[in-house]
Chains A and B, each alone.
Chain A
Amino acid sequence: MGMGNNKPPIVEIAHLSKSYRRGSQTIPVLEDITFDIADGEFLALMGPSGSGKSTLLNLIAGIDKADRGTIRVGGVDITTLSDKELATWRSANVGFIFQFYNLMPVLTAFENVELPLLLTDLSRSERREHVELALQLVGLTDRVDHYPAQLSGGQQQRVAIARAVVSDPAILVADEPTGDLDRVSAGEILQLMDRLVREFDKTIIMVTHDPRAAEKARIIRHLEKGILTDIDGQPASPVAGS
């Protein structure tokens, strides 16, 4: 685990547990997870289906609620926030990258990227500036007025990445970002994510099945049956990346 940087942690997770109810049964998904993610880290979460890696990602991103434990992101314990506060918190602090891009089909690339900025106080011209910058970053300045259906998978994912970074959030969460892409496009997306970490100091937490994707990450964590391990299959130490 020595590849991490020496910056303070941006995500601190302590004794996190989560279970789902199916009928009368309670199925534990995460059990007493404790670990930190350093600022500017590129972390890959791996593990078999049902291991709870997406659940962990959702909890960190503030779209799911934990049963027990705390999640501090940038010093804020998000487990204590109400639904409304969480929504506001997400808009300012989290960028989402999904497996199937999740763009609004009726909005153009520009409008899709602009969406998160509608939740800010930016003026119309300021928003335009930010959107153009984000689209420039992902190399899609010539596709501004295209609708998602007019773009390839790789291009759509790049629009989604532009949308994730446009409001300059501290962390980016990516759930199988290359899962729906061919090898070449997947490579481009991973390179782009790598650049976001190296040049723009973003923290990326990525769930993936794809070993090639995981290779790009600086730290790989495995989840199995709700227990977090490091790459050697050993239970993780409380503070990772140190």
Chain B
Amino acid sequence: MAIPFSYSMRNLWTRRLTTVLTASGMALVVFVFAATLMLAEGLRKTLVETGSYDNVVVIRKSANSEVMSGVDRAQTSAIESQPEIARGSDGRLLLAKELVVLINIPKRESNKPANVVIRGISPASLLLRPQVRLTEGRMPRPGSAEVIAGTSIARRFKGGGLGETLRFGMRDWTVVGIFDAGTTGFSSEIWGDVDQLMQAFRRPVYSSVTFKLRDPAAFEQFKHRVESDPRLTVEAKRETRYYEDQSEAMAKFLRIMGITLTVIFSLGAVIGAMITMYAAVANRVVEIGTLRALGFQKMSILAAFVIESLLLGLLGGVVGLSGASFMQLITISTMNWQTFSELAFTFTLTLDILWKSLLFSVGMGFVGGVLPAFRAARMNIVEALRSS
């Protein structure tokens, strides 16, 4: 049978100061580790949730995003005639021809301008995106210079609030409504009547066509047909896929940066844990000799010290994670390099990140503790007892 668990626990408690300091080092590393994963996850989630699985986005071939895309009226008509498009209860196609333009408007706090997406919408736009709800005011009247703004725009940009006025496209636009799109990317957009906006920006073409599939499984069939149609120079993506692609580069960058940083930091924390554990072994030489004399096997000694170090790591992990979980309260806004627009998102803690972080912290404890534990286990009993 093994040396009691309480022996390892209480030894950590007995040298509280060292325990706290060592665990703090590990907690910091776990914090950075978890926070960067949460950041990447938050970004991914925001963009992916923006789309729906049974919606299809059609953009110009090889345009990575709506901003770079252009689909002319002849092509939109050809797309509108496809059989896979669902119809609403009123018999109309659930299809929206939209315009996406970037403008820059100053932020409320810093007065610095940042890029914001303006989306020209069709009547079906709201029906295609059930996650978008008008929370204040009303929808813009067709033919008027009225827009609605996402909650994130209303909060963070000058002129974005209800009743305020934004100036772009050489006209003043009144914000007549605020819409909530949850944590999706739409919260960082301004929506107005597509025809009004095309005139204002002097754009002859739409940016994209988005529609709902009558049968979600019919996507491949549709994609194949439109992409091989010689009249069309477009590509079709599921909306979820479209937005995931947009998050990919950034999320990958964040993850690689985060993991590189934490690997370097963790070296420091592991060395810290190792020093602590070597000191713990050195201070308890007589105890180790006594336990061995009483008949405890080398493996039991090894296990007792490894457990102690694992506990140290776990403590660091729990502290670091609880610190990181507070990051969920923070909303970050950053440039989405794929659309060149401002995007607001939050740190998102998932179960996956939770166990990865804990595993990481326990791993650090193990690496830091295993060599000292071996030293303890291999000690000569007589010499250990003599050092009293």
Contacts and interface: CB of A to CB of B under 8 A. Distances in A.
A103 B206 CA distance: 82
A83 interface: yes
A102 B290 contact: yes
Interface in A90-106: 90-92, 96, 98-100, 102, 104-106
A84 B1 CA distance: 14
Contacts of B286: 100, 102
A81 interface: no
B281 to A, nearest CB: 15
Nearest to A160: B290
A96 B294 contact: yes
Contact of A118 (B1, B14, B287, B293): B1
Contacts of A107: 4, 6-7, 10
A88 B294 CA distance: 9
Contact of B2 (A61, A111, A118): A118
Contacts of A79: none
Interface SS, A side: helix
Interface string A106-120: 110001000110111
B93 to A, nearest CB: 74
Taking residues whose C-beta sits less than 8 angstroms from the other chain, chain A's interface range is 20 to 34
Contacts of B259: none
A19 interface: no
Contacts of B7: 104, 106-107
B294 A63 contact: no
Contact of A63 (B1, B14, B293): B293
Contacts of A91: 294-296
Contact of B295 (A64, A92, A102, A111): A92
A107 to B, nearest CB: 6
Contacts of B382: 58, 63-64
Given A107-B10, A116-B295, A98 B290 contact: yes
A106 B295 contact: no
Contacts of B294: 90-91, 96, 115-116, 119, 163
Contacts of B289: 102
B11 interface: yes
A231 interface: no
A1 interface: no
Interface in B374-388: 381-382, 385, 388
B296 A63 contact: no
Interface string A72-94: 00000000000110011111100
Interface in B1-38: 1-4, 6-7, 10-11, 13-14
A111 B1 contact: no
B26 to A, nearest CB: 22
A62 B84 CA distance: 85
Nearest to B13: A106
B14 A119 contact: no
A119 B299 CA distance: 13
B292 interface: yes
A119 B298 CA distance: 13
Given A98-B385, A105-B14, A111 B4 contact: yes
Interface in B149-205: none
A87 B298 CA distance: 9
Interface of A: 58, 61, 63-64, 83-84, 87-92, 96, 98-100, 102, 104-107, 111, 115-116, 118-120, 163
29 contacts: A61-B293, A64-B382, A83-B298, A84-B297, A87-B295, A87-B298, A88-B295, A90-B294, A90-B295, A91-B295, A91-B296, A96-B290, A96-B294, A98-B385, A99-B388, A100-B286, A102-B286, A102-B385, A104-B7, A105-B287, A106-B6, A106-B11, A106-B13, A107-B4, A107-B7, A111-B4, A116-B295, A118-B4, A163-B294
Given A104-B287, A111-B4, A115-B294, 18 more contacts: A61-B293, A63-B382, A87-B298, A89-B295, A90-B294, A99-B388, A100-B286, A102-B388, A104-B7, A105-B287, A106-B10, A106-B13, A106-B14, A107-B6, A116-B295, A118-B3, A119-B294, A119-B295
Q: Which 4 A-B pairs have the closest CB atoms?
A: A91-B295, A106-B10, A102-B290, A63-B381
